[in-house]
Amino acid sequence: MFEGNKLSSPIAEFNGVSFRYGTGTDILKDIQLTLDPGSFHFMTGESGAGKTSLLGLLYMNHLPTKGRVRLFGKAVDTLSRADKAQIRRQIGVVFQDYRLLSHLNAFDNVALPLRIAGVKETEIKRHVSELLAWVGLEKQIKAFPDELSGGEKQRIAIARAVINRPQLLIADEPTGNVDDAMAKRLLYLFLELNKLGTTIVIATHNQNLIKHFGFVQLHLSHGHIQYINQEKQSKHFQQGETA
């Protein structure tokens, strides 16, 4: 489904990063974090722990209050608007609120990143149709967002985020509105992308997925980050398990 896309230098580096909204208290405190190419992390923590804020820093939705964030080797606070746009094209994002375009059907929502990149329509049709079938939405290909359930919208958002084979994929509760079987199927889609070089960070409360896949956890608590299972590789890499 995907072609390989490998990098060697860190995808993201946080050096002493703190963040707060306005004049409030720090949500994130002195975060030290490196995301290597091809790494796969679950981000965990209670509601309000700062998971969405950290993902927002990765997507350059906001800048740190203190410290420095580097993406693809570049300090984000020094980037021009054009540079930010170029880096964002290398990042796939699955938002909690989907952010689908209401005037586009399922096919066109997923196809949008490819059209922006100038991919030929014949290739777009092949890739989008294949991916929509993978997420179980081949029959909703012409449906508009207001005709879809929450779980269907979520799967469209995931397909749109991965269709362009991003170097970094960040997802905020991407399986929150689907059943366990579909949640695992979607994780295998992420895993396939990850095996070809994409760095993946998934914020989730789904303990079944965390236990099943066993990736390193970035656990946020009281503004600080803790690594869990840092030395443990996924059993799926070791055993070559597939969906």
Domain assignment present for 174: no
Structure tokens at 200: 């993946």
Domain assignment present for 64: no
Domain assignment present for 52: no
- pTM here? 0.86
- Give me the residue label for tokens 């989907």: 98
Domain assignment present for 202: no
Query: What residues contact 195, with CB distance under 8 A and at least 6 apart?
Result: none
Low pLDDT (below 70) residues in the chain: 1-8, 230-243
For position 86, what pLDDT does the model report? 92
- Give me the residue label for tokens 């979520």: 154
Domain assignment present for 181: no
Residue 92, CA distances (Å) to 70, 109, 239 in order: 17, 14, 28
Q: Are strands 28-35 and 12-19 parallel, antiparallel or unpaired?
A: antiparallel
For position 35, what pLDDT does the model report? 96
Sign, CA dihedral 70-18-218-88, equals negative
Domain assignment present for 32: no
Domain that holds residue 128: 100-165
Express each pLDDT in 203-231 by its tens digit.
998 888 898 888 999 999 999 999 987 65
Domain assignment present for 237: no
| Structural domains of the chain, count | 1
Question: 212-239 b/e with 16+ CB inside 10 Å = b?
Answer: bbbbbbbbbeebebeeeeeeeebebeee
Q: Are strands 40-44 and 216-221 parallel, antiparallel or unpaired?
A: parallel
Q: For residue 169, what is the enclosing H or E element?
A: strand 168-172
Domain assignment present for 25: no
DSSP conformation letters of 63-107: --SEEEEEETTEEGGG--HHHHHHHHTTEEEE-TT----TTS-HH
For position 2, what pLDDT does the model report? 52
Structure tokens at 228: 């869990």
